[in-house]
Amino acid sequence: MNCNLRKLWLIVPDQLPTVIRRCPKCKRKTEFQNSGKFRVNANGKLLDVWLIYRCSHCDTSWNMTIIERANPENIDKEEYKGFLSNSPQLAASYGSNRELFIKNKVEIVEAKSGYHILKTPTITPGNKEYSLEVQIKNPSALKLRLDVLLAGELEVSRNQIKKWFDDGLVTSGQAVLLPGARVMDGMLIQIKKEEANRQELLDV
């Protein structure tokens, strides 16, 4: 691990939520599934981006609005490239965003399944005081305990994780976290350096 760069963990359900809306071809409400593909339209100086869903019965498409009438200069360049290349990570992130579903006025069908973590480096410099800094995205608001998540992803025993919490080594900003803390969307996790954990986190 390059300790000078912050990490990003995106928590993604193993099965993404589907949405329920009226299908014009089926002439009734049906489930629409995330296709993993985006539609990008540059109309003059403005940009629109949609995530394409398809009816599970007839394959009719429906475009869920991601970005509407935006100035291209205000769009992150890497994210824009991801839209054009149908990035699976972006499709999973936007396809599990509750606020986006509400904005598009669709019903959500939650998938009852496990989850996995998509890990990517960032260009954000890390604080040398910490062995590990992780920005966690949990757009689907899965109910997860932070200690359980860290134990599984860092491959460290629950007892060791508990000791780090008890010793005040796991923080978020200036706040010391408790073992039972819930994983919140956008939270920044920092694990302070100590000889016992420095080597264990090198390959995370």
pLDDT exceeds 90 at position 199: no
Looking at every residue in the chain, the average pLDDT score rounds to 86
pLDDT at 204: 55
Residue-wise pLDDT tens digits, 44-55: 788 999 999 999
pLDDT at 67: 93
Residue-wise pLDDT tens digits, 84-99: 999 988 898 899 888 8
Q: Is the CB of residue 126 less than 8 Å from the CB of residue 6?
A: yes
pLDDT at 189: 92
179: nearest Cα among 203, 199, 159, 153: 159
Distance CA 81, CA 99 (A): 23
pLDDT at 1: 41
Vertex 122 angle, CA 118 and 128, to 5° = 115
